[in-house]
Structure 1
Amino acid sequence: MTRFGRLFRDGVTTFALLGLIALLALKMNNRPELIQTGSFYVVDGDTLAQDGDRLRLLGIDAPEYRQQCQRDHVGWACGEEARKALDKLMKTAPAECRGSEHDRYGRLLVTCKAGDVDINSAMVRSGMAVSYGGYAAEEAAARQARAGLWAGDFERPRDYRREEQAERARSGDPLAGLGDYLRRFVGWDR
């Protein structure tokens, strides 16, 4: 066999092997979509629980339950209100949540619908959550309408969590400070 023939054979074999590896990788990465229906417990404005499992609404970030916001220079419990808003939406019709990925805390990342209502979108559109990798158009509409959080001043939930972690670290809890450092080091800020 000539040198060109061997190179051609080796090249074809290499490409065939790479193609086979790519197909296997795609098959292994193909996660089935999980569907959960029934009644859900609303933990906060972007987290649900059902039968011991936690679900996080994909593409949104709502105020933490204890988070306070300002409206007309008066504090209001925006975190509690976000939880109430999600609870109300989840009860409008039988809810169905779908997702295939998990976040770093093991929560299933889901998009939920109650009837024809996209719950994730409705939370952002009502101003009770901000866009977090999705729903930018809904956030722009809520901001323009000065709905929910946008009617006053608020701290982004991500920033609020970061400050809470820093406060725990300053309070003398050495493990809280270590955990905060490790999360920043690894880049696990939500």
Structure 2
Amino acid sequence: MRKSLTICLLLCALPAAADISGRARVIDGDTLQIGQTRIRLHGIDAPEASQTCLDTGGVAAACGLAATRAMQVLIGTDTVHCTPRDIDRYGRTVARCDVGGRDLGRDMVASGLAIAYRQYSMDYVPAEQAAQAKGLGVWAVQMQNPADFRAAKADQPAAPDGCAIKGNISGSGSIYHMPGQEHYGATRINTAKGERWFCSESEARAAGWRASRR
């Protein structure tokens, strides 16, 4: 009991991390930098800057770039105030940030340009549900979950420049997957099996591959 009390007194005496304020540089839709501090917004996950989605016509749309630009517009030249919550495994400060009293994380999720990061917080689930019901932002297109996109990017060698279409061979035949489709991130290219990258859909079809339905 005495030992537990001593530990508690020591921990409780530790000061909370100080708030961070200043002009921010936007890294992407959920990451900022203020001074030398890299900040990951608490409770949200936005498409990665290089991530694409598929619009209703099946055409790749730069949803990651759209999220990045939306964050730039939200901040403008205003001062950003961040309250640290944690430090993530990459050494970034995880924080709730606002501009003029507006919660940046909530604004991004409410506009459909980020999703609630349920693994870490349920704070923004109502805002996400409202955006989804209205078909805003990523809810108007087909988007791979950003966490799955990051995992796939880490595991898969980079595509040749300008040739991001994945030609996969499975029990269903030779199928090509476009960036932004549901199974694109999970698809791996094994050249030893005859799988390959394509630079265009016409090239893939000419080689005997058919389009994935999802």
TM bin, normalised by shorter chain, reads 0.7 to 0.9
Q: Distance in 1 between matches of 2:8 and 2:154?
A: 43
Counterpart code for 1:62 = A
Equivalent residue for 1:159, pick from 145, 148, 153: 148
1:53 CA displacement: 1.8
The answer to whether structure 1 residue 69 and structure 2 residue 53 are counterparts is yes
Q: Distance in 2 between matches of 1:159 and 1:137?
A: 22
Cα separation, partners in 2 of 1:163 and 1:84, compared to 1, 3 Å: same
Alignment: residue pair count: 156
SS at match of 1:168: coil
Query: Which of the two has higher C-alpha Rg?
Result: 1
Gaps of 5+ in 1: 1-14, 173-190
Equivalent residue for 2:38, pick from 28, 33, 54: 54
Q: Distance in 2 between matches of 1:107 and 1:168?
A: 25
Question: 8 Å contact 1:98–1:111 — kept in the other structure?
Answer: yes
Partner in structure 2 of residue 41 of structure 1:
25
Partner in structure 1 of residue 137 of structure 2:
148
Deviations 1:26-54 (A, max 9, x none): 426x4513212221100011111122221
Partner in structure 1 of residue 16 of structure 2:
32
Deviations 1:140-183 (A, max 9, x none): 111111110000110010000011111139789xxxxxxxxxxx
1:24 CA displacement: 3.1
Cα separation, partners in 2 of 1:94 and 1:52, compared to 1, 3 Å: closer
- Matching of residues 11-160 of structure 1 within 5 Å: 15=1, 17-24=2-9, 26-27=11-12, 30-72=14-56, 73-91=58-76, 93-132=78-117, 133-134=121-122, 135-160=124-149
Counting aligned pairs with the same residue, the percent is 36
Counterpart code for 1:152 = V
Partner in structure 2 of residue 168 of structure 1:
157
CA RMSD of aligned residues (A): 2.2
Question: 8 Å contact 1:91–1:114 — kept in the other structure?
Answer: no
Question: 8 Å contact 1:124–1:139 — kept in the other structure?
Answer: yes
Q: TM-score, normalized by length of structure 2?
A: 0.67
Gaps of 5+ in 2: 159-187, 191-214
Q: Distance in 1 between matches of 2:137 and 2:7?
A: 46
SS at match of 2:157: helix
Counterpart code for 1:131 = A
SS at match of 2:19: strand
Question: 8 Å contact 1:92–1:114 — kept in the other structure?
Answer: no
Q: Distance in 1 between matches of 2:131 and 2:112?
A: 5
